[in-house]
């Protein structure tokens, strides 16, 4: 493990078949305006790609020969963004970890400002930015109404909801390594292959929050979230909706702790399963009824999104009940004592 006392920023890019998206992402990193005394690095982790991601990354970075910064490329063969992220953290040198997704175009002052903000308050455990929707052109006008399904907009409610989205986020490395050393394991694994079941960023923030640190965001940390044409389709957005519903269930152990829900946890899940089944049935019947009435396309699209969210929720409850209960016990043992001891850090 690298020396945790080295103050600086390690930028980690976790990639799966990212070759078509990396050029602009790396270009915007090369154009960062960073003070000479700020130590930083870029680590790209190839997570079992099959499209030559590592080779393309090296070729693209070599175009910026005047940039006095080496691009480190690592390989993590085990599929799942979490595994790639941990590989990057293990190899990192510096005190702050900046997550730059393969489709994030960071504004020129992003790294320097993130460093300044993290260094200004030792109680910040995670810091989020302000992503803007940047669709590949030409863009369908109807897809613009679904921009909120992508990383997009201010996160001014980060402190009250206790999480920030992973894109462009910055973490205090000592907190992450502390969690890993305790034996903390995530129930989410992040996106794996073509699956859009994620939530690893939210789970990470919850664990940081329960360790006594603040989760904040700063709208001055601007970046563009590039969305290629193949992701500007209702099929993709419906997969996102399903993934959100599924992930929400996996994270229920954290919700129970954060909300101080004293009910037996298995009873919480049983009640949710019953409610979810009823909601899914109702959603199905409404969709069928509206299709018979030939409702307009926009109405049917909204119903489909709701249906997929309900379906993801129900299937997660059916498939993961024992796993979620076991994980709730684990995080209660690991995180509740830390939460009690360091409550004053969040005041």
Confidence at 5, pLDDT banded by 50, 70, 90 = low
Residues 177-197, mean pLDDT to the nearest whole number = 89
- The predicted model gives 107-118 an average pLDDT of 98
Instruction: Give the Cα separation of 114 and 220 in Å (integer).
Output: 9
Three-state SS at 214: strand
pLDDT tens readout for residues 139-182: 877 788 888 888 889 999 999 999 999 999 999 999 999 999 99
Determine if the peptide bond prior to 138 is cis (ω within 30°).
yes
pLDDT for position 190: 79
Q: Quote the pTM value.
A: 0.91
* Cβ–Cβ under 8 Å, residues 89 and 178: no
What pLDDT does 52 receive?
Answer: 97
**pLDDT, tens digit (0-9, with 9 covering 90-100), for 207-250:** 999 999 999 999 999 999 999 998 999 999 999 999 999 999 99
Neighbours of 53 (CB within 10 A): 26
3-state helix, strand, coil in the chain (%, to 5): 50, 15, 30
In this predicted structure, the answer to whether residue 2 has a pLDDT above a threshold of 80 is no
What does the alpha-carbon distance between residue 115 and residue 109 come to, in Å, rounded to a whole number?
10
Which CATH number fits the domain 9-232, given the four candidates 1.20.1260.10, 3.90.550.10, 1.10.340.30, 3.40.190.10?
3.90.550.10
Residues 306-324: pLDDT tens digits? Answer: 999 999 999 999 999 999 9
Q: Single out the residue of 202, 149, 1, 148 nearest to residue 87, CA to CA.
A: 1
- Alpha-carbon distance values, 142 to 232, 233, 279, 297 (Å): 10, 10, 27, 11
Q: What is the mean pLDDT of the chain?
A: 92
pLDDT of residue 141: 75
pLDDT band (50, 70, 90) for residue 126:
very high
H helices present in the chain, as ranges: 22-30, 53-61, 81-91, 110-120, 158-161, 173-182, 200-210, 234-250, 252-258, 265-292, 297-341
pLDDT for the residue numbered 337: 60
Average pLDDT over residues 251-261: 95
Question: What is the tens place of the pLDDT at every residue in 40-98?
Answer: 999 999 999 999 999 999 999 999 988 889 999 999 999 989 999 999 999 999 999 99
Residue pair 268/252 in contact by the 8 Å Cβ criterion: yes
Q: Do residues 86 and 179 lie in contact, with contact meaning Cβ atoms separated by under 8 Å? A: no
pLDDT of residue 291: 80
Given this model, what pLDDT does residue 207 score? 98
CA distance 2 to 25: 26
CB 42 within 8 A of CB 29: yes
Question: CA distances (Å), 262 to each of 35, 182, 250, 266, 267, in order?
Answer: 50, 25, 18, 11, 11
Average pLDDT over residues 6-18: 96
Alpha helices in 78-152 (DSSP H): 81-91, 110-120
How much of the chain exceeds pLDDT 90, in percent?
80
Rounded CA-CA distance 113/218 in Å is: 10
Count Cβ neighbours within 10 Å for each residue of 167-192 and write b for 16 or more, e otherwise: bbbbbbbebbbebeeeebebbbbbbb
Indicate the domain borders of the chain: 9-232, 252-346
Longest dimension (CA), the chain: 66
Query: How far is it, in rounded angstroms, from Cα 288 to Cα 207?
Result: 41
């Amino acid at each position: 493990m690298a020396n945790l006392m080295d103050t600086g920023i390690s930028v980690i890019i976790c990639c799966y078949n990212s070759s078509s998206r990396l050029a602009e992402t790396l270009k915007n990193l090369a154009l960062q305006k960073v003070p000479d005394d700020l130590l930083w690095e870029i680590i790209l982790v190839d997570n079992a790609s099959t499209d030559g991601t590592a080779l393309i990354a090296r070729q693209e970075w070599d175009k910026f020969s005047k940039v006095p910064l080496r691009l480190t490329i690592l390989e993590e063969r085990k599929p799942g963004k979490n595994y790639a992220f941990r590989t990057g953290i293990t190899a990192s040198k510096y005190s702050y970890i900046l997550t730059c997704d393969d489709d994030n175009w960071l504004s020129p002052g992003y790294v320097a400002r993130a460093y300044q903000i993290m260094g200004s308050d030792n109680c910040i455990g995670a810091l989020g930015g302000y992503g803007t929707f940047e669709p590949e052109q030409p863009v369908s006008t109807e897809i613009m109404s679904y921009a909120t399904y992508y990383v997009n907009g201010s996160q001014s409610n980060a402190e009250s909801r206790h999480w920030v989205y992973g894109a462009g986020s910055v973490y205090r490395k000592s907190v992450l390594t502390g969690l890993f050393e305790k034996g903390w394991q995530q129930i989410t694994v992040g996106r794996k292959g073509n699956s859009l079941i994620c939530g690893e960023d939210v789970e990470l923030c919850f664990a940081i929050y329960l360790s006594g640190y603040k989760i904040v965001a700063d709208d001055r940390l601007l970046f563009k979230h590039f969305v290629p044409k193949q992701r500007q389709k209702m099929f993709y957005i419906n997969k996102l909706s399903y993934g959100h519903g599924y992930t929400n269930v996996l994270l229920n152990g954290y919700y129970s702790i954060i909300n101080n829900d004293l009910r037996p946890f298995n009873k919480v899940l049983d009640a949710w399963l019953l409610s979810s089944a009823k909601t899914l049935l109702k959603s199905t019947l409404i969709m069928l009824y509206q299709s018979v009435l030939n409702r307009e396309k926009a109405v049917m699209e909204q119903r489909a999104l709701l249906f997929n969210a309900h379906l993801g929720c129900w299937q997660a409850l059916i498939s993961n009940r024992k796993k979620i209960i076991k994980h709730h016990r684990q995080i209660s043992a690991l995180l509740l004592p830390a939460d009690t001891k360091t409550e004053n850090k969040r005041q």
